[in-house]
Copies of this chain bind each other. A is one copy, B any other.
Amino acid sequence: MNTKKFLLQEKDIPVAWYNIAADMENKPRPILNPATKEPVGEEDLYPLFAQELARQELNQTDAWIEIPDEVRDMYKIWRPTPLVRAYGLEKALDTPAHIYFKNESVSPVGSHKLNSAIAQAYFCKKEGVTNITTETGAGQWGAAMAYAANAFGLELAVYMVKVSYLQKPYRRSVMQTFGAQVIASPSMSTKAGRKILTGNPNYQGSLGTAISEAVELAIQTPDCKYTLGSVLNHVMLHQTVIGLEAEKQMEMAGEYPEIVIGCFGGGSNFSGISFPFMRHKLKAGKDIRIIAAEPESCPKLTRGEFQYDFGDEAGYTPLIPMFTLGHTFSPAHIHAGGLRYHGAGAIVSQLRRDGLMEAADIPQLETFDAATLFARTEGIIPAPESAHAIAVAIREARQAKEEGNRKVILFNLSGHGLIDMAAYDQYFAGDLMNYELTDEDLEVNLAGLDRIITQ
């Protein structure tokens, strides 16, 4: 194992988040009120989100938004995170490519999710909120929000997708240790949950359903706001600290990434690593490939349709312009629970539509092959989500070898997999399988879309 880290100092933690919407020529389309089909304004979002977060959500003019000192101070608990040259992986692949990864797994909860959880908890607290709700898939976001809620003295209820609740009991325990209440979703505690359970008592849940439940509880509880770990613009914004640090660190390494890769669920870590580099593309015409790594079983960016759709299963949220598989899509039970979401955020969807980025869909077994090779060559056991980014990096490094081409590849290691070991056990036992989404299933789900975008 032969590894080189590029380390920054606390003073190098960014002082502002990067708001890519300000630099986009084609702005993302507005989110719409489902009843009126009119654009949603800031005030319309206040019942759901802290006001400052609502403002960030709709801000398309300020490229830089200052990070409050209180948030930056908490970032210091684990940031800046290391950038690592993956010599061990390069050697194992015998590739001329140079592979770098940003190691976001070093946070106290083991993933990048804390970057936004702390910001959201901070703004809620500042505005007098006492209770918050959220949803979580694999539990990375829920654990981060539990940490942040505890840090700022907020009560938190987390709806955790049932399949992950059962697959990943340790992550539930982490949330409970930080004092959060965790409910398996779908649950009987909300109308949305009851409706689903009535129709399908064995339904194992989806992020879309969990969001419905968390939104419903937030709306019905006084002094309560809803928080979300991905998809929304303000979440992408907070995550840009990842790429902003990586930019400086790649300079330290004396290289520039020709390919930037992030795994893709709703877009949080993908945007975090890639938007600061996308900025070079938008503003300086830099030649750089940006690739979203998604599961073959949940391929919204590869095979979904660009259309207005709900962010949740029950249709409580505004309509978002997104590449979507349909908001009632029920993804296969892959272990990368954080990637089991039907749609992509509005900004990423626009960038994809404008041909500014690519997507790759990866079968589950390939992701665990990649994860195991990475663990044995770089010494970090990756989360099943992050393994998707590793798999694409490996594909690109192998192609570099075929072409005899010295590419520089950067990917984001969004989290570690120490709480996902049951998935590794199944992989080693030969009990994991691939789930390819059939054209039929895709069509059935897309057929339900109310097609507002006609061109």
> Considering residues A74, A151, A177, A419, which has the most beta carbons from chain B within 10 angstroms of its beta carbon?
A177
- Which residues on B sit within 8 Å (CB–CB) of A379? 77, 108, 147, 150-151
- Which residues on B sit within 8 Å (CB–CB) of A1? 74, 77, 150-151
- Which residues on B sit within 8 Å (CB–CB) of A419? 170, 418-419, 421
CA distance A7 to B375 in the complex (A): 27
- Which residues on B sit within 8 Å (CB–CB) of A376? 150, 177-179
- Which residues on B sit within 8 Å (CB–CB) of A10? 5, 7
A422 within 8 A of B: yes
How many copies of this chain sit in the oligomeric assembly?
2
Chain B nearest Cβ from A198, distance in angstroms: 30
- Looking at chain A's contact residues, the main secondary structure is helix
Question: Which chain B residue shows the least CB distance to A9?
Answer: B7
Known A7-B10, A151-B1, A179-B376: A174·B381 in contact at CB below 8 Å: yes
User: Which residues in A have some Cβ–Cβ distance to B below 8 Å?
Assistant: 1-3, 5, 7, 9-10, 73-74, 76-77, 106, 108, 110, 147, 150-151, 169-171, 173-174, 176-179, 372, 375-376, 379-381, 418-419, 421-422, 424-425, 428
28 contacts between A and B (CB under 8 A): A1-B74, A1-B77, A1-B150, A1-B151, A2-B73, A3-B77, A5-B76, A7-B9, A77-B379, A108-B380, A110-B418, A150-B376, A150-B379, A169-B421, A169-B425, A170-B419, A170-B421, A170-B422, A171-B421, A173-B422, A173-B424, A174-B381, A176-B425, A178-B375, A178-B376, A418-B418, A418-B419, A419-B421
